[in-house]
């Protein structure tokens, strides 16, 4: 057990059997009354964000979460198989844990995986990835400067909105957190 003095950004707390990542914390010492720690916590699995206040010196349960870089190898049924670049150990991760990251995951791509007691918690991709457009409707002449968009299918199977002038075979940069088109890549 640790105390509230050990709370820092990035620390993972175990509260009621769930893991919560400390996003923000503030030690407050008011003029009257006892000191306390105000925290903003994000659920590691669901992403839900809550505010929680602890009295100074209260005991908290800090969990050890190992974040390491892995390389995505292939998809095996419902599992995604990743490999540790240092030990060459393979780690199968269920599709539910990979979540939305699967839409932007290509073979041999690097990803950060958080593991707690041998259980993978989540997969984190780089902020943006470069993917090829495998299908989109042809652009119309004169649509070069308009701000309209059209759907496009990426090589991973994900569908995003792209400008009207893009064509099939174009490589685009995509934000992995929002799925937004960021630009063309030559």
- Looking at residue 141, what is its pLDDT? 59
- Looking at residue 114, what is its pLDDT? 86
The residues that bridge with 2 in the sheet, in sequence order, are: 60
Residue holding tokens 């769930």?
18
Is the fold of 2-63 the same as that of 66-124?
A: no
* R_g of the chain computed on alpha carbons: 21
Report which DSSP code applies to 171.
E
The confidence band for 146, taking pLDDT boundaries of 50, 70 and 90, is low
pLDDT tens digits for range 168-184: 888 999 998 888 989 88
Starting from the edge strand earliest in sequence, which strands make up the sheet with 79-84, in order?
90-94, 79-84, 66-76, 110-116, 119-124
CATH of 128-185, one of 2.40.50.140, 1.10.1040.10, 3.40.50.2300, 3.40.50.720: 2.40.50.140
Q: Is the dihedral angle over the CA atoms 4, 10, 14, 17 positive or is it negative?
A: positive
What's the CATH number for 2-63? 2.30.30.30
pLDDT tens digits for range 95-120: 888 888 888 998 999 999 988 888 88
The rounded percent of the chain whose pLDDT value lies above 90 is 36
**Residue 184, C-beta contacts closer than 8 angstroms, at least 6 positions apart:** 166, 170, 171, 172, 173
Parse the chain into domains and list their residue ranges: 2-63, 66-124, 128-185
pLDDT tens digits for range 127-141: 899 999 999 888 665
Q: Which among 92, 97, 91, 156 has a CA at the least distance from the CA of 123?
A: 97
**Looking at domain 66-124, what is its CATH homologous superfamily?**
Nucleic acid-binding proteins (2.40.50.140)
Mean of pLDDT values over 143-153? 73
Dihedral, CA of residue 179, residue 90, residue 116 and residue 80, to nearest 10: 30
pTM exceeds 0.75 for this model: no
């Amino acid at each position: 057990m640790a105390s509230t003095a050990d709370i820092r950004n990035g620390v993972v707390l175990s509260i009621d059997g769930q893991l919560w990542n400390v996003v923000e914390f503030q030690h407050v010492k008011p003029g009257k009354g006892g000191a306390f720690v105000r925290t903003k916590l994000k659920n590691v699995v669901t992403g839900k964000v809550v505010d929680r206040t602890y009295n100074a010196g209260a005991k908290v349960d800090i969990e050890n979460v190992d974040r390491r870089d892995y390389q995505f190898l292939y998809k095996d049924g419902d599992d995604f198989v990743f490999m540790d670049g240092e030990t060459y150990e393979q780690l199968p991760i269920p599709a539910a844990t990979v979540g939305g990251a699967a839409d932007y995951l290509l073979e041999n791509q690097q990803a950060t995986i958080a593991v707690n007691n041998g259980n993978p918690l989540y997969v984190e991709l780089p902020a943006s990835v470069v993917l090829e457009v495998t299908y989109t409707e042809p652009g119309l002449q004169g649509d070069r400067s308009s701000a309209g968009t059209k759907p496009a299918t990426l090589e991973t199977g994900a569908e995003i909105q792209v400008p009207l002038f893009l064509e099939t075979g174009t490589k685009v940069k995509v934000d992995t957190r929002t799925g937004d088109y960021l630009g063309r890549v030559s």
